């Protein structure tokens, strides 16, 4: 919210609607309707401008890192599912096999941290 002085009177502006109301009171309905239409007009941005903005930001790097993390999480999930299946199907558990699996998961995670 911001206070402004209009015609020697303090007006509080907290939204676009407040601006339109102040204009109606001080400048008339026609000008207020004009301003309201301009405020509510959707901004059109070209695809070239969108591409330029995204390329100058870290958007593509962030998107690539999400893809990478998704692959890593899928690898970890696969390894966990394999070990769950191994535990459920085995009468005897080979601790070395489980330890190897945990080390594999540890290596996957530690490479990414």
> d(Cα 2, Cα 14) in Å, to the nearest integer?
6
Query: Residue 13 forms beta bridges with which residues?
Result: 2
Over residues 24-52, the pLDDT tens digits come to 999 899 988 999 988 888 888 889 988 88
Question: Taking all residues of the chain, what is their mean pLDDT, rounded to a whole number?
Answer: 89
CA angle 61-65-68, nearest 5°?
140
Over residues 8-27, the pLDDT tens digits come to 888 888 888 888 999 999 98
């Amino acid at each position: 919210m911001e206070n402004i002085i209009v015609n020697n009177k303090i007006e509080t502006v907290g939204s676009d609607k407040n601006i339109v109301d102040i204009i109606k009171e001080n400048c008339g309905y026609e000008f207020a309707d004009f301003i309201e239409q301009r405020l509510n007009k959707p901004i059109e941005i070209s695809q070239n401008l969108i591409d330029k903005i995204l390329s100058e930001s870290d958007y593509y790097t962030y998107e690539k890192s999400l893809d990478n993390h998704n692959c890593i999480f899928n690898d970890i999930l696969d390894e966990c599912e394999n070990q769950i299946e191994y535990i459920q199907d085995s009468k005897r558990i080979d601790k070395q096999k489980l330890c190897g699996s945990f080390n594999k998961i540890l290596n996957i995670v530690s490479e990414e941290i």
